[in-house]
């Protein structure tokens, strides 16, 4: 496997990063089976693992900790995230110093490690001063509990603000960003990816298969062999009765036909496309089973022709996200009408 540099950190990571959201109650509840999948990924040359405290309410981190026990930890670049709610207490979530200092200890315990290589802010939180968050993370770097800090699904303005605050306040700066990016969700090509290149930020795209749309299950004229469990959990992204998802389905059909013509699986086409962008350091794959992992392996060795890339641009134009539900984050000013209307304030 040819390794890439994580942004400008000098750390070498595999082009495929093993995402572990599907290990635990939300996906594969069998710990031993999940550990075997992790070990297979490591044996295949993957040295980068991404998890989060909120995945199966900490269970995913526990599984990763078990898998890395016995001498494998030192060879892995280990990333996790904080922000999501982990209890009924109003302070058991978010980006405050109080929660970060408490939750990093919980993640270290679940992961069975003394340090986390990359500790990421899972989502923005506009009501919390960004300096509050970066200050806490800077202290953790200086204590040796984390090595680097990153962000996930930040808006372009928030990415720039984080760099500005770090410089002006002498904080550790985020060295990675984890945005949604796929053949069907290309909005980050407009600003996020160019900004990442400008500031030397490593990009770790999540959902490169668009939540299962690009797994190969959809073919024109055929019923899908299996129904995604995500459909019930995330109807805005998967309900095909919605016009935006109907458009996604048509694009998926066209991309599947293009993959066939190129002699590739749709999964390989989708992953190779994301890896093609020069800002991308590593793409996060999220297998639940051995079969899912095996289907993704080898995609980092594929080079797409200019003809194939041009055809992709025709199907889904650059910078286009067909369904905004795939953006992963909506600013409060969009979600809350009170922030847009004087009459409601």
pLDDT tens digits, 295-308 = 999 999 999 999 99
Tell me what pLDDT residue 218 has.
Answer: 86
pLDDT tens-digit map of 310-338:
999 999 999 999 999 999 999 998 989 98
Q: Mean pLDDT throughout 104-108?
A: 98
Tell me what pLDDT residue 272 has.
Answer: 98
Distance CA 230, CA 212 (A): 8
Tell me what pLDDT residue 226 has.
Answer: 59
Tell me what pLDDT residue 98 has.
Answer: 98
Q: Average model confidence (pLDDT) for the chain?
A: 95
pLDDT tens-digit map of 2-12:
999 999 999 99
Tell me what pLDDT residue 220 has.
Answer: 86
pTM of the model: 0.95
Distance CA 34, CA 171 (A): 37
Strand 4-5 relative to strand 12-13, pairing = antiparallel
Which of residues 140 and 224 earns the better pLDDT score? Answer: 140
pLDDT tens-digit map of 34-76:
999 999 999 999 999 999 999 999 999 999 999 999 899 999 9
Print the SS3 string covering the chain: CCCEECCCCCCEECCEEEECCCECCCCECCHHHHHHHHHHHHHCCCCEEECCCCHHHHHHHHHHHHHHCCCCHHHCEEEEEECCCCCCCCCCCCCCHHHHHHHHHHHHHHHCCCCEEEEEECCCCCCCCHHHHHHHHHHHHHCCCEEEEEEECCCHHHHHHHHHHHHHHCCCCCCEEECECECCECHHHCCHHHHHHHHCCEECCECCCHHHCCCCCCCCCCCCCCCCCHHHHCHHHHCCCCHHHHHHHHHHHHHHHHHHHHCCCHHHHHHHHHHHCCCECCEEECCCCHHHHHHHCCHHHCCCCHHHHHHHHHHCCCCCECCHHHHCCCCHHHHCHHHCCHHHC
pLDDT category at 229 given cuts 50, 70, 90 is low
Q: Which two tokens stand for residue 23?
A: 């290990």
Domains and CATH numbers, the chain: 4-344 (3.20.20.100)
pLDDT tens-digit map of 79-103:
999 999 999 999 999 999 999 999 9
Residues marked as catalytic: 55
């Amino acid at each position: 496997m040819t390794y890439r540099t994580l942004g400008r950190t000098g750390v070498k990571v595999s082009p495929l990063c093993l995402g572990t959201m599907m290990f635990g109650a939300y996906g594969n509840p069998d710990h031993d089976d999940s550990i075997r999948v992790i070990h297979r990924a490591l044996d295949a040359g993957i040295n980068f693992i991404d998890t989060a405290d909120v995945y199966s309410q900490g269970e995913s981190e526990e599984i990763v900790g078990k898998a890395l026990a016995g001498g494998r930890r030192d060879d892995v670049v280990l990333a996790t995230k904080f922000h999501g709610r982990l209890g009924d207490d109003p302070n058991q979530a978010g980006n405050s110093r109080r929660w970060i200092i408490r939750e990093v200890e919980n993640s270290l315990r679940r992961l069975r490690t003394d340090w986390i290589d990359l500790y990421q802010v899972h989502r923005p939180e506009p009501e919390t001063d960004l300096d509050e968050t970066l200050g806490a993370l800077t202290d953790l770097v200086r204590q040796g509990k984390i090595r680097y800090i990153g962000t996930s699904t930040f808006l372009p303005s928030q990415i720039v603000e984080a760099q500005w605050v770090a410089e002006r306040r002498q904080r550790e700066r985020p060295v990675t960003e984890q945005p949604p990016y796929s053949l069907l969700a290309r909005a980050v090509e407009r600003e996020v990816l160019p900004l990442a290149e400008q500031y030397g930020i490593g990009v770790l795209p999540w959902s490169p298969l668009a939540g299962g749309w690009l797994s190969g299950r959809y073919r024109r004229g055929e019923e899908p062999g299996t129904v995604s469990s995500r459909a019930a959990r995330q109807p805005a992204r998967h309900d095909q009765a919605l016009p935006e998802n109907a458009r996604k389905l048509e694009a998926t059909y066209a991309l599947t036909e293009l993959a066939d013509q190129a002699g590739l699986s749709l999964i390989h086409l989708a992953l190779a496309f994301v890896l093609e962008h020069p800002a991308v350091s590593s793409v996060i794959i999220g297998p639940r089973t051995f079969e899912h992992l095996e289907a993704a392996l080898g995609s980092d060795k594929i080079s797409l022709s200019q003809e194939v890339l041009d055809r992709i641009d025709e199907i889904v134009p650059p910078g286009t996200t067909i369904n905004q539900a795939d953006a992963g984050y909506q600013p409060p000013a969009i979600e809350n009408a009170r922030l847009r209307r004087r009459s409601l304030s």
